[in-house]
Amino acid sequence: MATGTLAKGRPTAVRESMFHWEGRDKNGRVVKGDMRAGGESVVAASLRRRGIMTTKIKKQ
């Protein structure tokens, strides 16, 4: 699990949630899935690195 740090060096837990996403792959096919992440932007960035352009991201 990812952790952040406060100014005094104490670790803090990053809250992760489940997200349902839909998008299109490099060939234009519709793909769907679920991902645990800290936010919608994290989901979008992760999928973009995999070559998937998201069309919907919804927190579950």
Please report, in tens digits, the pLDDT of each residue of the chain (60 residues total).
Answer: 566 655 676 777 778 999 999 999 999 999 999 999 999 999 999 999 999 999 999 999
Q: pTM above 0.85? A: no
- Whether the CB-CB separation of 58 and 23 falls below 8 Å is answered with no
What's the CA gap between 10 and 15, in Å, rounded?
A: 16
* Per-residue pLDDT reduced to its tens digit, 30-46: 999 999 999 999 999 99
